[in-house]
């Protein structure tokens, strides 16, 4: 932070608008001092306060009988039976990753892990939804390599397996990559804790790493503004935090032990906006106040000013609220795990958050905790539909379809992401039944402390599709959820909760706010229809570079449950001799190609999206879940971007064997992305009959598509290539 010459310029340097500064003065009844301004600037940042998006987020359905904690807490929590609960959250770390890919991504993983164990859950899985510029671009490669290495370096060492995710390359992310990390935790239901302070006289104990000057203003300077060529982005680097997974590993063990032994009454992680956020949120949620003594905070370097200590985003820290009698035992547990513990404050009556330079010293800031936490301004930002929307929707990229070019175009879509996930420990805890590289990941659902196995599975997946959402944010977001549901079905799981990470451009652009609002409507609508509660989310705005917004990219994370795990779900690898069956209504001959991977690769952004019928998706999902559970399928893969053609090529590559379709398939039907379809491969005619009968009972269309075998992949009339050529395409796509 630059020291401004003039007092009136300070709030602007901190990222506050003039109107916001006026509002602060009105709340306080006096001008804010510099420490208070610094605190408001981080807490009222877009990143912390959701001031541009909050008016829209209320439209999500958030309730279901199994929801224990909905949006607004550190993580959403659902009851999954057998005395267990699952905590889930997704968060972006886009801007830090653009500036410093390794640490940006590493601390993104660290932060989301803390959100999960803050609830009392042991983190059992990470998933990464990553979006970068084209592979051919050197900077994009540097960012991609660094982000993956950062997640690998942090996640592996901290001891949380990274079991899934997605990796997308597209020019829209060239100046602004997206790094969304989802974490899932499991806990005995009775260990659920909330991040709130209670009990006047209780102590605020800061656990973990020492506080340094890293990450000051991360949420305001970095996360709440776009990138611009004219500015020196390197100068923002000090706003990126540095992670220490070994500290976090010990912090996890210490905190879970404290929660198990009932030694804390509330606990909160320190993430964006640091101690300022943790103290004001816990006090505000608990309806109490808090005194914070800055001289008691263990610091990494001398001479830190109170505003630096309060807003530092140093990683691997937790704030525990402890009864004075419990303090010695808290210290003992911390000592065993080599975690530093310091009493830095006290719960007070009333609602004031007071920052004192020492416990009996001078008050350097005094504000009401709630004013920081939930009295941030609420913006109804202007929204505008793009003026050329109707014209774009009426186009048809399919007019460019050339059967001669199709094979090459399909092979260009093949992407081997094993270079990403082979860098992640995805097997720790012996719980990963299906790991990365499949439609979704599947974990054993066990009590993480006693090891007691429920015999059921926990399915997890992340999905996003900016192409669909660029064409139509509402339908695109709904299609994304539909695809996610089918991904879960492929590992035998039925959806139980959704979290989202809404990555959009600059909210001051009316078109971006229109996209956000429409995406919320589309997602909310299908979640309501399918009975999936939204239990949490994160909004990332200002994803832009040089004034150009990214394509709207709402990412969803879905958590589902299976019945008893009698057999391992088949995965997408086909075997010689299997028969291919298409489940769900076949792609219509006149399917719209707007937003398809094929159209995008040709530079066509016009056209409409294929038609989505949510009840059909639900029926296909049910059919696949039951068939996977019964071990009826030899392979299974959902059809999504790249259409039937890419799905079949991926299945052939995974199995290392060719395949041939035996039904008429036009070029449009090969690459069309008509939703609600899954390809299954089964062994033997009797199984074909059983599957088609079962589909009939559920009202799902099913047809024999072709045969697995040989060394060629032959799809309809216009795609016939040796398997080796597909292998080469896959190999060339690795970074």
| Gap between the Cα atoms of 150 and 418, Å rounded | 16
Q: Which stretch binds other proteins (CB under 8 A): 240-248, 293-301, 638-646, 676-684?
A: 240-248
Q: Residue 149 is encoded by which pair of tokens?
A: 């290495």
CB atoms within 10 A of CB 711: 11
Nearer to other proteins, 186 or 410 (CB): 186
List the alpha helices (DSSP H) in 162-273. Answer: 245-260
Separation in Å, CA 523 to CA 187, 243, 469, 533, 608: 28, 34, 11, 11, 18
Q: Does position 562 bind other proteins by CB under 8 A?
A: no
Out of 157, 415, 575, 733, point to the residue binding other proteins (CB under 8 A): 157
CB distance 599 to 170 below 8 Å: no
Nearer to other proteins, 149 or 383 (CB): 149
Q: Which stretch binds other proteins (CB under 8 A): 76-84, 150-158, 220-228, 371-379?
A: 150-158
**589 CB-near residues (< 8 Å, 6+ apart):** 666, 668, 669
Nearer to other proteins, 417 or 429 (CB): 429
Taking the CA atoms of 433, 435, 440 and 441 in sequence, report the sign of the dihedral they define: positive
Q: How many residues bind other proteins (CB under 8 A)?
A: 32
Binding mask of the shown chain, residues 522 to 561, with x at each position contacting other proteins by CB under 8 A: ----------------------------------------
**388 CB-near residues (< 8 Å, 6+ apart):** none
Out of 433, 489, 599, 715, point to the residue binding other proteins (CB under 8 A): 433
Instruction: Give residues 159-178 in contact with other proteins (rule: CB under 8 A).
Output: 159
| Gap between the Cα atoms of 263 and 662, Å rounded | 66
Separation in Å, CA 210 to CA 28, 102, 249, 407: 31, 21, 15, 57
List the alpha helices (DSSP H) in 211-321. Answer: 245-260, 274-286, 306-311
Q: Does position 260 bind other proteins by CB under 8 A?
A: no
Q: Does position 575 bind other proteins by CB under 8 A?
A: no
**Strands annotated E in 546-615:** 548-549, 553-564, 579-583
56 flagged as catalytic: no
CB atoms within 10 A of CB 399: 9
Binding mask of the shown chain, residues 58 to 77, with x at each position contacting other proteins by CB under 8 A: --------------------
Instruction: Give residues 24-63 in contact with other proteins (rule: CB under 8 A).
Output: none
Q: Name the minimum Å distance from CB 149 to other proteins.
A: 8
- Provide the Cα torsion 403, 404, 406, 409; round to 10°: -160
47 flagged as catalytic: yes
Binding mask of the shown chain, residues 686 to 725, with x at each position contacting other proteins by CB under 8 A: ----------------------------------------
Q: Name the minimum Å distance from CB 659 to other proteins.
A: 23
Nearest to 600 by CA among 385, 394, 412: 412
Q: Residue 516 is encoded by which pair of tokens?
A: 């956000």
| Gap between the Cα atoms of 70 and 68, Å rounded | 7
At 405 the three-state DSSP class reads helix
Q: Name the minimum Å distance from CB 570 to other proteins.
A: 12
Out of 149, 305, 529, 698, point to the residue binding other proteins (CB under 8 A): 149
Helix (H) or strand (E) holding 355: strand 352-356
The order of strands in the sheet holding 203-208 is 266-269, 317-322, 203-208, 341-348, 289-293, 352-356, 363-368
Residue with tokens 């959403």: 76
CB atoms within 10 A of CB 232: 9
Q: Does position 314 bind other proteins by CB under 8 A?
A: no
Nearer to other proteins, 436 or 610 (CB): 436
Nearer to other proteins, 246 or 379 (CB): 246
Nearest to 608 by CA among 395, 398, 400: 395
Nearer to other proteins, 191 or 249 (CB): 249
Nearer to other proteins, 11 or 250 (CB): 250
Q: Does position 452 bind other proteins by CB under 8 A?
A: no
Q: Name the minimum Å distance from CB 58 to other proteins.
A: 40
Q: Does position 727 bind other proteins by CB under 8 A?
A: no
Instruction: Give residues 413-432 in contact with other proteins (rule: CB under 8 A).
Output: 418-419, 421-430, 432
- Catalytic choice (56, 93, 466, 509): 93
Nearer to other proteins, 152 or 687 (CB): 152
Active site residues: 47, 93
- Residues in contact with other proteins by CB under 8 A are 149, 152-153, 156-157, 159, 244-247, 249-250, 337-338, 418-419, 421-430, 432-433, 444, 451, 565, 568
């Amino acid at each position: 932070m630059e020291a401004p010459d003039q007092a009136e310029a300070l709030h602007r340097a901190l990222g506050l608008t003039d109107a916001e500064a006026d509002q602060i003065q009105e709340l306080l009844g006096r001008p804010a001092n510099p420490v208070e301004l610094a605190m408001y600037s981080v807490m009222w940042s877009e990143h912390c306060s959701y001031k541009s998006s909050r008016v829209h987020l209320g439209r999500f359905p958030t309730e279901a009988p199994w929801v224990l904690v909905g949006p607004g807490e550190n993580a959403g929590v659902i009851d999954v039976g057998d005395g267990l609960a699952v905590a889930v959250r997704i968060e972006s770390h886009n801007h830090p990753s653009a500036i410093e890919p390794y640490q940006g991504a590493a601390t993104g993983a660290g932060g989301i892990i803390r959100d999960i164990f803050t609830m009392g859950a042991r983190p059992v899985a990470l998933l990464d939804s990553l979006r970068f510029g084209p592979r051919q671009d050197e900077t994009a490669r540097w960012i991609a390599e660094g982000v993956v290495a950062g997640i690998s370096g942090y996640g592996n060492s901290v001891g949380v397996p990274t079991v899934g995710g997605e990796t997308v390359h597209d020019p829209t992310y060239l100046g602004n990559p997206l790094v969304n990390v989802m974490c899932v935790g499991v806990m005995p239901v009775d260990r659920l804790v909330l991040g709130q302070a209670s009990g006047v006289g209780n102590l605020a104990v800061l656990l973990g790493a020492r506080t340094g000057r890293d990450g000051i203003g991360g949420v305001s300077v970095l996360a709440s503004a776009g990138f611009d060529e004219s500015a020196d982005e390197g100068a923002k680097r000090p706003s990126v935090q540095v992670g220490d997974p070994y500290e976090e590993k010990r912090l996890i063990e210490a905190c879970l032990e404290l929660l198990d032994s009932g030694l804390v009454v509330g606990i909160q992680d320190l993430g964006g906006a640091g101690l300022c956020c943790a103290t004001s949120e816990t006090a505000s949620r608990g309806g109490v106040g808090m005194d914070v003594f800055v001289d008691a905070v263990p610091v990494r370097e001398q001479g830190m000013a109170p505003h630096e200590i309060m807003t530092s985003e140093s990683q691997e820290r937790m704030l525990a609220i402890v009864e004075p009698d419990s303090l010695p035992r808290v210290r003992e547990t911390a000592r065993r795990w080599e975690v530093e513990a310091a009493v830095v404050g006290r719960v007070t009556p009333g609602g004031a958050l007071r920052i004192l330079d020492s416990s009996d010293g001078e008050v350097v800031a005094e504000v009401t905790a709630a004013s920081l936490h939930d009295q941030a301004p609420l913006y109804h930002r202007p929204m505008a539909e793009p003026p050329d929307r109707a014209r774009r929707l009426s186009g048809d990229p399919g007019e460019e379809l050339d059967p001669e070019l199709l094979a090459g175009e399909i092979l260009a879509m093949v992407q081997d992401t094993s270079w990403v996930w082979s860098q992640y420990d995805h097997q720790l805890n012996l719980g990963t039944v299906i790991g990365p590289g499949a439609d979704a990941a599947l974990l054993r659902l066990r009590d993480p402390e006693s090891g007691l196995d429920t015999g059921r599975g926990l399915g997890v997946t992340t999905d996003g599709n900016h192409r669909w959402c660029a064409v139509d944010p509402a339908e695109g977001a709904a299609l994304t959820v539909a695809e996610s549901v089918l991904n879960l079905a492929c590992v035998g799981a039925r959806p139980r909760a959704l979290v989202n990470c809404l990555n959009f451009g600059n909210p001051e652009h009316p078109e971006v706010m229109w996209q956000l609002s429409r995406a919320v409507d589309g997602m909310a609508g299908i979640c309501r229809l399918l009975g999936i509660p939204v239990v949490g989310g994160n909004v990332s705005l200002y994803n832009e570079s040089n004034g150009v917004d990214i394509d709207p990219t709402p990412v969803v994370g879905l958590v589902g449950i299976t019945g008893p795990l009698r057999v391992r779900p088949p995965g997408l690898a086909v075997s010689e001799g299997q028969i291919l069956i298409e489940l769900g209504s076949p792609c219509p001959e006149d399917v719209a190609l707007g937003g398809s991977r094929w159209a995008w690769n040709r530079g066509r952004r016009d056209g409409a999206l294929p038609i989505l019928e949510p009840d059909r998706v639900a029926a296909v999902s049910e059919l696949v879940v039951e068939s996977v559970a019964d071990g009826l399928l030899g392979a299974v893969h959902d059809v999504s971007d790249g259409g039937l053609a890419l799905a079949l090529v991926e299945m052939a590559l995974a199995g290392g064997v060719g395949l041939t379709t035996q039904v008429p398939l036009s070029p449009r039907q090969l690459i069309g992305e008509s939703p609600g379809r899954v390809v299954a491969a089964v062994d033997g005619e009797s199984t074909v009959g059983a599957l088609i009968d079962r589909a009939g009972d559920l009202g799902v269309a099913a047809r024999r598509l072709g045969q697995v075998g040989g060394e060629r992949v032959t799809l309809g009339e216009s795609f016939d290539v040796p398997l080796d050529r597909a292998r080469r395409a896959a190999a060339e796509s690795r970074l």
